Chains A and B, each alone.
Chain A
């Protein structure tokens, strides 16, 4: 340990270089870009003009709302589903290993591929989903072109791909729940639901908070691929989220300064969200 103490800087250097190059410098540069009018012709400093403009923009506010709607709904659904699957996987049964590994498969596929595949699946005339629904006699809805359903379709795709992530984390958390406490509660006559709510959940609080935070952070940004591949922002602007809108502002409208300011606003929104999430759960995180 003494050697490590003496060579602190040397050991930290690679990480520091990486962080600086790929995290700190781009963030500072984005800040700078957001304060300037940056187009194809170059940039000039304009102060907070970009921020004033985007706050007045109805579409931007709409996409901010959509982003949070997407994240909150998706993470909640994934949490519930992930918990259920983790509880099932916690027991032993025949073929458990196979089930365990095959559930992890969706996570490995690139989000772009998932988005494209689901675009075809969701198609009302060519797609598999509506075909299967029609076999039961009902007519499937137009998934990607009905404004109210489009966002739900995107949430569904995200759930399909990332529930395994929650499952993994929650399953790991379940391992720490000791058997004997459950046994004594059973002896005292508690139902399994009561046992779950009063024993399992409190013990898992840390892991749950971790899982929720990680997944939300992920969801804010990773959903770009899925939305871009399926609806491009939606019928109207119903699936427009800040990442897709910022991408469009940058690469279609060629207004990089504005796009940077949108990203910075998202950055602060996410920070607020995470802080409030932590306060809500009130735990001592990452002290282990």
Chain B
């Protein structure tokens, strides 16, 4: 039957009627053809109109409720007082000025410092740039504090920014690079992928822009305020492919309240792997809904491999030898896999093999896990009274030491300029602006982990953040243990890391034992490297 015919047929589910159109009805059993009664049709139409009206009214009501809620929510955000109480706040209230962006620096002060720069901010006026950002605390802070609007006002450059999740960000920028369309002038990049980008020549070398006196006031910008190690992590094949956005990596967290409850010294975190296991065991009480430790389990080179890599190095393992032969089936690596997975299997929450960092952070804020080793930026959420139930309960420390050494896997997001972009100078101005001292101090307030050493060390942040000194001490000590070889940057890393991540996840899920997983990973990684031509 044709589509039109079946429409008429199913229009009326009445099984006595074989066919009904606008004018005639054919009855099923008798085959009688009857003209449709006008009165019936009118009743029918009336019924349908009523139903339709009700549906439309309901939908309108739903939409307006939703819109009203959204509007109310945004109003509340604007009117909410700054999260941290600061005595400094009173100094800042200037009559007639709009609300301050941050507790730690006034808008007037930001503008004053920006003006100090010996460059013409308006030199790229009228251009428009497209910026791809990852959705996380740095960028939220930039947006919430009005820094992005300030940039537009200051430079006359129209800023179009989009916040992506990590995977989508990578997807979009990859397509952009491959087709060389230059849609995104600036993208936040993961250093693991930047080596591929640098090798393929799709990102711009930043040094000419940095050294150009027209574009950059080097003295004011102070590039040495960024740790050399992090700048090195962004250098591949001789070019500085990206500018480090923040100093991150790992840090040890422990919940002091639970430590005290279960008979441990709340001020002393686990210093080595044995203590880590021991403390996790003591704090593991699933009957109370409290789990000893949570670490990243979900497969991914930036997920479980990121967290595990410091353990691997601490046990004395390494990814490759001098000739790029993978070393993952060595006894040290197998031991680290065993330790990591046993820790999670014995003292971790159920389903931890599926957990990535946001789940860990949520569980910390809920108070269901006690210990973790993960990104320092979690403090933004877990010490925020609006987002966390465990404010003020956290202790901070450096990564626990392994049998061979104490290791922290460093990490940062990098700002890269697209080589196909037609507005590179304007993009560089954007980078210079958001990485400048005043802006970093402004966003340093809420999130603390900025890219500049001076901003992190600023004592003004301590007001309202009583946890800060301990955090800062921990991160400073931990920075000494940063090991760039924990997550090596070479073009095949994403595939290598993903393979390892899948094997690691299967061990945590109880699917394989560590030795088998390590051997399987090693074989596949060898295959990948061979295909890429490393052994010719």
Contacts and interface: CB of A to CB of B under 8 A. Distances in A.
Interface of A: 39-41, 53, 59, 92, 123-125, 142, 144-147, 172, 175, 179-180, 231-233, 235-238, 248, 251-256, 288
B197 A251 contact: no
A6 B170 CA distance: 51
Nearest to B507: A236
Contacts of B511: 147, 235-236, 238
Contacts of B491: 254
Q: How would you classify the secondary structure of chain B's contact residues: helix, strand, loop or mixed?
A: helix
Interface stretch (B348-356, B439-447, B458-466): B348-356
B23 interface: no
B292 to A, nearest CB: 14
A69 to B, nearest CB: 17
A171 B237 CA distance: 63
B368 A288 contact: no
Contacts of B29: 179-180
Contacts of A53: 531
Given A40-B196, A251-B174, A124 B505 contact: no
Given A172-B10, A251-B170, A251-B174, A147 B506 contact: yes
Contact of A144 (B300, B354, B531): B354
A172 to B, nearest CB: 6
Given A175-B9, A236-B505, A123 B494 contact: no
A40 B419 CA distance: 13
B402 to A, nearest CB: 26
A123 B352 CA distance: 10
A102 to B, nearest CB: 13
B298 interface: yes
A64 to B, nearest CB: 17
14 contacts: A39-B200, A40-B174, A92-B13, A123-B354, A124-B349, A124-B350, A145-B297, A179-B15, A179-B28, A233-B299, A236-B505, A251-B174, A254-B174, A254-B491
B54 interface: no
B6 interface: yes
B405 interface: no
- In the A-B complex, the 7 residue pairs with the smallest Cβ-Cβ separation, listed nearest first, are A236-B506, A40-B200, A235-B509, A124-B350, A253-B495, A124-B351, A145-B353
A236 B502 contact: yes
Contact of A256 (B9, B178, B301, B506): B178
Nearest to A178: B28
A153 to B, nearest CB: 11
A252 B494 contact: yes
A187 to B, nearest CB: 15
Contact of A236 (B15, B351, B509): B509
A237 B494 contact: no
Nearest to B520: A58
Given A125-B349, A256-B178, A288 B1 contact: yes
Contacts of B352: 145
B404 interface: no
Interface in B474-500: 491, 494-495, 498
A253 B494 contact: yes
B10 A252 contact: no
A123 B505 contact: no
